[in-house]
Homo-oligomer: A and B are copies of this chain.
């Protein structure tokens, strides 16, 4: 599946610890190197991450990118440089001569004289453990109620009312199951189909869609969560761009002209952060007329999300700290007031709106107990409450809609065009 593998690879090798960064020093960015007019053998230094390695008998080709450009800089090195550490994802500092390239694929290339590895990239799956969370479940994670119910098509063989003894549904999220597993593996993720029985024909809803969901123990701030989310988006996108170049270029050329620049803009800027309260203020002061009037305590609509992204200069923006009353029982109480919020975060991106949703989870027994009691869910979620009785830790996680992610990076307007067999109201072809 286009891009899925890159995304999983990015998440598996992702750690929530910050990566070592090269120290700032006099140097040329990849963008500047590519745009250099004089290539009379001037000596330069370029720092970045290895996007591909091709090893030939006498010579080694590297492609280096530092995020300043979608195009990478080709580095040509003597084969004596060949080493296992020069691998995809490693950060390097290359010194050498910028020369005219003999190939038609690029104007300039960097003839390496010295390559220093700044940070290794061990591709072993040491970050997140992949868990298969179940498709059929007796939970309703979101409390949303837009569930598909599952029953045997013929009840002849099972005399009881329910095949599973209890009503069973198609999962809307693997989050609660991941929370169980994060209590053993610390950092876990799942990548699989999720379902919504929403009667929607919109360009960003499907009845069956894929989500990447991650859950991380010992996370105490939204800041840490957002760092993983931004890292996942950027790393996965860089991997897709370097591994599926032709496919991406096809979309950018024929379907979404200008998307290449928009994507570059997203990658090279730090994502922004605003609070829900700030977001509502921005919307209230907007010159635009909305179908739904923005108001504190009411959910953001697609039109609001798209306005906010535009307001932020088309840079992805995290919206944090939503009203407690809008969010499910498991999100962590911020104990603020009088406008009572929870530690929730959504990432809004250009063209799509909400791409990620996440939160710190309520790990404190008594807080969670009260929230469940207020929703009348204590009995059904006793097992979940018990997780807070035995070795509870601060933790949090997020989910990202995979088809929306593809829409965002490829610039595809309709979600039904990024999945081979789309399922939505009135349609289940084949």
CB pair B164 A423 closer than 8 Å: yes
Instruction: Please state if A138 and B207 are interface contacts (CB–CB under 8 Å).
Output: no
Known contacts A154-B145, A423-B164; A134 and B383 CB within 8 A of each other: no
Task: Answer yes or no: A65 CB below 8 A from chain B CBs.
Answer: no
- What copy number does this chain have within its complex? 2
Do A420 and B131 have beta carbons less than 8 Å apart? yes
Cross-interface CB contact of A430 among B135, B138, B152, cutoff 8 Å: B138
The answer to the question of A339 belonging to the interface, with a C-beta cut-off of 8 Å to chain B, is no
How extensive is the interface on chain A, given as a class?
Answer: 35 or more
Residue of B nearest to A85 (CB): B55
Q: Specify which of B138, B139, B145, B419 is in contact with A153 (CB 8 Å cutoff).
A: B145
Q: Is A219 an interface residue (CB 8 A)?
A: no
Look across to chain B and name the residue whose beta carbon is closest to the beta carbon of A184. B420
Task: State whether A193 and B195 are in contact (beta carbons under 8 Å apart), knowing that A419-B132, A425-B163 are contacts in the complex.
Answer: no
- Report the separation of the CA atoms of residues A85 and B60 in the bound assembly, to the nearest whole angstrom: 13
Query: Which B residues are CB-close (under 8 A) to A208?
Result: 134-136
CB distance from A178 to the nearest CB of B (A): 10
A428 at the interface (CB under 8 A from B): yes
Report the minimum CB–CB distance from A184 to chain B (whole Å): 10
Contact B153 A147 (CB under 8 A): yes
Q: What would 16 more interface pairs be, CB under 8 Å, given A82-B83, A146-B152?
A: A5-B130, A82-B82, A132-B193, A132-B210, A134-B423, A134-B430, A135-B193, A136-B208, A136-B428, A138-B428, A138-B429, A145-B153, A147-B153, A149-B150, A153-B167, A153-B197
